[in-house]
Amino acid sequence: MKKLVWLTSFCLAPISIFALPDYEPFADSTGSGGTSYTTGANLIGQTGTSGRTWFQAGPGTAPQPTIAAGDLLVNGLASTGGNQSAGFGGGSGTSARLNLSVGAGGITSGTVYYSFAMRLTDLTALNTAGVFWAGFNNTQGSQTTTPNTVVTRLVTRSAGAGLYNVGLDKASGVASSFVWATGDFTTADTLFVVGSYTFNPSADDDSSQLWLNPDSSTFGAGSAPGGSISSILGTDIARVASFVLYDRSANEPTAGAIDDLRFGLSWADVTPSSVPEPSTFALGALGLAWLCTRRRSA
């Protein structure tokens, strides 16, 4: 019996090390062997509860993403809180990269998702053409150059008068090919975005999708809802192995933040509901109460 338990544990170990979903709440992780995520500290070098570390992806110069004060809460979405988030923006600096729990070979088939809450707090540098500042990458670990092989790019642009738009670019890098979601937003708005990348069999036919503020009734659903925008323009990526939060361009938002960053292989992985499913214990208690009622009435 002991041998069976040991063998089962051994076989399951790789699954726990290299398996999605992943969750990054940007919260103090010292209780589980991570770092403190102290407000004002650089995001690069922080290590979360599952042992994933944020790596340098750029020249090492300022500005770079930092730990910001305050949560970005989305109604109906599960969150561990912590009263912290990740701040970014401010010009041509250094980006931060987080490895996905998939190994260096990455994900090469199917669909992979990310999600996060976001708020832009200073639009001063944002231009009207649009610029991307987050997306999936094909490489893991640290580098001194800025990653440029990026898919499912989250793009934003100035809409004038203190407003901005949110959009998607699969990988084209051409502003005229960006796809924009409906709606103008201000620096007071907290948004929830879900992005996906789907591998398809032919050359340069992979597709990216983006959902902006999906209805909370879809959180935790077995399949993705409608209402997304999509893009197929740009070169396919060989693998999805990491996620990059950028501080690379003078045209990025001057300041912004993201929170509750998730990765998964399904819609449910990246949209967990704050309303938990009934537990086994609770269901058992209900069953016992029903049996007692039946017995008394018999």
CATH number listed for the domain at residues 23-272: 2.60.120.200
How many angstroms separate the CA atoms of 150 and 164, rounded? 22
Determine the distance from the C-alpha atom of residue 266 to the mean position of all C-alpha atoms in its chain, rounded to a whole number: 13
The tokens for 66 are: 């930092």
CA distances from 192 to 3, 24, 209, 281 (A): 47, 15, 14, 32
Residues 6+ away with beta carbon under 8 Å from 9: none
pLDDT tier, 91 (very low <50, low <70, confident <90, very high otherwise): confident
Q: The dihedral of CA 13, 237, 270, 109: what is its sign? A: negative
Query: Is residue 286's pLDDT more than 80?
Result: no
Q: Which residue has the higher pLDDT, 126 or 297?
A: 126
User: What is the reported pLDDT for 284?
Assistant: 42
> What CA–CA distance (Å, rounded) separates 120 from 125?
11
Over range 209-236, report the average pLDDT: 98
Average pLDDT in the 215-223 region?
A: 98
| Residue 220 to residue 127: CA distance in whole angstroms | 35
Indicate the range of 140-154, 156-170, 197-211, 265-279 predicted with least confidence. 265-279
How does DSSP classify residue 35? -
Closest CA to 71 of 37, 122, 104: 37
Query: Rounded to two decimals, what is the model's pTM?
Result: 0.87
Find all residues with CB under 8 Å of 249, minimum gap 6, and list them: 91, 92, 131, 133
Q: Where residue 283 falls among pLDDT bands split at 50, 70, 90?
A: very low
